[in-house]
Amino acid sequence: MASSEIEVVSSDSKTPKISDAPLVVDVFSAVSYGDFEKLRSFVEQEGASVSVPDSNGYYALQWASLYNFPDIAQYIIKHGGDVNATDNMQQTALHWAAVRGATTVADLLLENGARLEAADLHGYRAVHVAAQYGQTAFLNHIIAKYNADFDAPDYEGWSPLHWAAFKGFADTIRLLLFRDAYQGRQDKNGCTPLHWAATRGNAEACTVLVHSGTKKELVVKDKAGFTPVQLAHDKGHRHVAFFLSKQQRALSNRWRDKICNGRMKDIGYAPILFCIIILEMFLFINSVVAGSSFPKITAVVGLWAWTALSLAVGSLIMFYRCSSKDPGYIKRPGDLGAHDDTEDPLLNIDLNSSSVWTGNWSQLCPTCKIIRTVRSKHCPTCKRCVEQFDHHCPWISNCVGKRNKRDFFIFVCMATLTSFISGAVTVQRIWTSSIGLSEGETWIHHMLVQHPGAIAFLVLDTFIFIPAVTLTSTQASMIARNITTNEVANSTRYWYLRGPDGKFRNPYNHGCWKNCSNFFFRGYADDDDIAWPPLERIAST
């Protein structure tokens, strides 16, 4: 089972309680309540010491660190407080600062000689404590600024990633994976972070770990011989067990993995769709327009047939454009020609840039190692992050995103019109040819015998028309609301799609007219142009 996590505060009478009137009787209670004047009075007038612990072994500097009182902490250090003093659990003030994510106090402690890698009786360092309490911003700060060892194990072999997975802090997991924390580390029980996430039924934690890892962790067994899938099943976490078993099946099927994740996956179904379109055009020209078994084509029908063929050619052009065009890939450090000595991207984050960083750790991509924009998403098929990610379409072998969504919509619209008009022309040709059937000959028999090519075209055209109409109407609806397929499918996961009442609200919806005009004239919507501010940002401190 899990190691005991840090316990910094007991039910001591000095611990402030909101319901109780402040009772400042000594240095420790003054520090706990943040009463600077009382503290100065005790020290300067009554000669109280700030360098000795209370009856429980806790130091005044630890209380100041826990409640993030940097001015009081500075005063204590100035008057003899030891930044490395430890209580009965060998915990320092920095351990206590990590509990509440007191970044300002941590800076003060470390600048005054606090030992960053100090470990308590369980082997917990500040990085472990921060991971235990989900203090992602604090953890990032001490890693980025002070080079804290984010992969260090405690005495049970647990790294900060183990703790984040055990507690289900998905944002902390993203940060650690972003910084290349080792997923395969096994503790003394042989458990990886994924084992503990599965044991606790932390679905989002499992999802982040699996999608960001090599998936080899799915088949790792602990010392008892259990995989993460088996642990999730045994603990009754059926939704987690289903997800993990699905991922494990994909990994274990070597033949399918080789085919689907190799050339076939890279190429996609675009060549198949291209061949279908060419076959449709061939059948339409040879079996419908120029079919010898049909009567001579009229001028009106010929005009509509020419229109259908023109639309088909246009569809092929738009098919090529949306298949080959960059859907909006976000540049990675290597794409920008960055060097190894570049500044840490998470050290000085511009919190005022709403289009890049909103203080939400879900914007970190552990795979691409970038801070992505709010509406972007990592595509596991393309292995890239895409701005305004809509969906990955295997039929065009490309993602649909900010840069090619207009081309994709035009393509499906033209495909729908082509399918409808060519189908109508085919039905008209078949109908006119069936007039004056010989006695005893059925209509179905006549069609199959006299016009097999036209019937084959009509069947194939129907299978294209139905999904094309569905896709066109769905995309049109989302364009009118300025929302993506991904956002509709995962609306409950995205904080920016929730209003103050917790219900769905799209901050990018400016009304049908403006949404459509922006899309068709510009090609995409501007992420900075929001109709109203989303729910309070999860600000990084």
Q: Confirm if 234 and 226 have CB atoms less than 8 A apart.
A: yes
393 flagged as catalytic: yes
Q: Confirm if 366 and 208 have CB atoms less than 8 A apart.
A: yes
How much is the pLDDT for 532?
66
DSSP 332: P
Distance between CA 137 and CA 102 in Å, rounded?
10
| Positive or negative: CA dihedral 286, 291, 292, 296 | negative
Q: Confirm if 366 and 174 have CB atoms less than 8 A apart.
A: yes
Helix (H, G, I), strand (E, B) or coil at 400: strand
pLDDT, tens digit (0-9, with 9 covering 90-100), for 498-511: 877 878 888 899 89
Give percent of the chain above pLDDT 70.
Answer: 83
How much is the pLDDT for 102?
94
Looking at mean pLDDT, say which of 8-22, 171-185, 369-383, 518-532 comes out highest: 171-185
> What is the C-alpha R_g of the chain?
32
Q: Which two tokens stand for residue 452?
A: 């097999």
Distance between CA 508 and CA 386 in Å, rounded?
18
Confidence check: pLDDT of 13 > 60: no
Domains of the chain: 13-92 (1.25.40.20), 261-336+344-541 (no CATH)
412 or 355, higher pLDDT: 412
Q: Could you tell me what percentage of the chain is helix, strand and coil, using 3-state DSSP and rounding each to the nearest 5? A: 50, 5, 45
Among residues 191, 322, 379, 393, the one annotated as catalytic is 393
pLDDT, tens digit (0-9, with 9 covering 90-100), for 277-316: 999 999 999 888 887 777 788 899 899 999 999 999 999 9
Confidence check: pLDDT of 86 > 80: yes
Confidence class of residue 427 from pLDDT cuts 50, 70 and 90?
confident
Residue 377, φ and ψ in degrees, nearest 5: -150, 150
